Every structure is written in structure tokens, then in C-alpha cells.
Homo-oligomer: A and B are copies of this chain.
Amino acid sequence: MYRKQIKVLDCSIRDGGLINNYHFTMDFVKAIYRATCDAGVDYMEIGKKLCESEEYTREDYGRWNFCDEEDLRQVVESYECENPPVLTVMFDVGRVDIESLLPAEQSVVGMIRTACYVPDIDKGLYLAKRTKDLGYETTINIMASSAVIETELIEALEQANEAEEVDYLYLVDSYGAFYSEQVTSYLKLYKDHAPNKELGFHAHNNQQLAFSNTQQAIIDGVNLLDATINGIGRGAGNCNLELLLNFLKNPKFDVRPLYKVIQEQMVGLRKQIEWGFNDIYGISGHLNQHPRGAMKQRANAEIRDNCYDFLIDSTAD
């Protein structure tokens, strides 16, 4: 599959940080940055840009949850590259200090993605407008679409469609619940109700379908695709970037630097933290549930593999 407009966004650090509260070392993040540079990836999302609070302290949460400009510069300046990826950070509605955001021309960040649930769409669009005014590329990532009442989703799509400040509008399979036919049907809703927008897609691998659903999104016309190196990401993880680049065939991509950083960095990390498909996540994906219950079970060594018990508990009346 080759289409010139297709762009790929690596969110290894941002989605992977949900596993370890963003406690990646500076060296690890530099290695990931270097790999995305050498692989020809279009965007690299390096973390969330939240503000500190009593709930979100620097002690508990690592620096990639705050993405201070000097930390990001340290990464970017660690490796010279002719066509580096556009650096991206994520906003969560309600946890952001928009007043302290630098104008894009003074920052190494080029794109800000705002994640919001459907009921928060107005707040999300406000943040998109403010970030666009400061000169950033913008996205709105509507989370958990699979668990939203359709009329509510349509209203949000129509609002986003009218918002000039939104460059990309995302379908996010937060619960890893979609089959490919559902990717197609949700994207039809997006195209019908937000025809002005370029679309993005973000998958989760609960049912081993992150990669295939991303392929389906490509077939259905989506041009901005999220993926992560080795599939790192919360719970069952994401679409594997290295598999996706193989599929895309665009000569600008090179998959070898990704396998290099997997061998040198990810293999060791996999011994410390867990991500990827397993039975428990497969069940929660099929049941279209938030992964928090599944993650809780996986975190308990005594019952982490008790998938039958999890199924029975999850489907009790």
C-alpha cells in the first residue's frame, strides 16, 4: 500500500509512558528519537504536556508527562538529522496550563494533539484553537468512540468539522474493541459528518487487531496513522510501527533503525514493564471495556493469568 499523503506518527514514549508513569530515562528517549529520525517517521510524540498539581507531582510522574522545553531540546540536540520528525506533545483536557505555552516558533514542538472525550469536545476545541493561534499543527483525538452514543458522537464530529483550527480529527479505538468492519463504519460516520477534515487513527491491540485495523483505516482513506515501536503502549499496546512501515512500502521509510532500537533498548525494557496482547486484554477488548480492570488483574501476580475468572467476573449480571 503506497499513498503519498500517508503520514506516520510514532507515539512510543507518550503511550508507553502510561505504563511506567513516564519514567523513561533521557538516554532511552534519545534512542527512540534517533530511531524515528533514521526510520523517516513523520511525527514523534514525546510525551504529554500537563501541568503539575497535587495529583500530578514531579516525584510521581516522570518528565515526559510535563515535557519542559529544555528536556525536549536535550533530546533534539542529541542527534543531527536532515529530516527529523515533527515533535509532538499531547494535551489532556482539564490538565493543561495553556497560558504558559510558548509560541511554536520558540519551541522545538511542532504539533499539539488534544485528547478529549465526547462530552469535553468544546473544551478540546478551545485548546485546539489556542494552540493553533500559537502556530502549532493541531489534532483532536476523540477517545473511546466505541462506547459513545452515536448522536453525541455525530454532534462532536460536526462541531470539529466547523473548527478551522483542527488539522486532523482522530478516531481512537481506546478499548481495542473494533473489528475492521467497525473501523470502516465509524470512519464513514467521520467522513459523513466531518468531510472537511483530514482523519487520523489510533488503535489498541487487545484483540490482535491494532495492525490490521490500521491497514483498514488506510484503505478507508485515513492519512495520519499512530503506531509505536514494538507496539509499546498501555495494556495490550498499539500498532507495531515496524510492521506498519513494512506494509506502507513508501521508500522514504527504513525499518532497520526500528529493529535496531528494539534489539538494543526494547528487549531490556520488556523485562521491566509489560505490554502487548494477552488473554485478559483480549476479553476486555471484546467486551468494549476500559482496560483499567484488565490492567489491575495483570498487576496482581497471583491472578494475572486467570482469564476464565476475569471473563466470568466481567460478564456477571
A interface residues with partner B (beta carbon < 8 Å): 1, 179-181, 205, 207-213, 215-216, 230, 240, 242-243, 246-247, 255-256, 259-260, 262-264, 267, 277, 279, 282-283, 286, 305-309, 311-312
Contact = CB atoms under 8 A, between A and B. Distances in A.
A240 B282 contact: yes
A72 B259 CA distance: 45
* Copies in the assembly, this chain: 2
21 contacts: A180-B180, A180-B212, A180-B215, A207-B243, A207-B246, A208-B210, A208-B212, A208-B277, A240-B282, A242-B279, A243-B282, A256-B308, A256-B312, A259-B279, A259-B307, A259-B308, A262-B279, A262-B307, A262-B308, A263-B309, A277-B277
Contacts of A283: 259
A298 to B, nearest CB: 13
Residue of A243, A262, A286 with most chain B CB atoms under a 10 A cut-off? A243
A242 B308 CA distance: 11
Judged by DSSP, the binding face of A is helix
Contacts of A309: 263
Given A208-B210, A215-B180, A243 B308 contact: no
A309 B259 CA distance: 9
Contacts of A240: 208, 282
A213 B180 CA distance: 11
Nearest to A309: B263
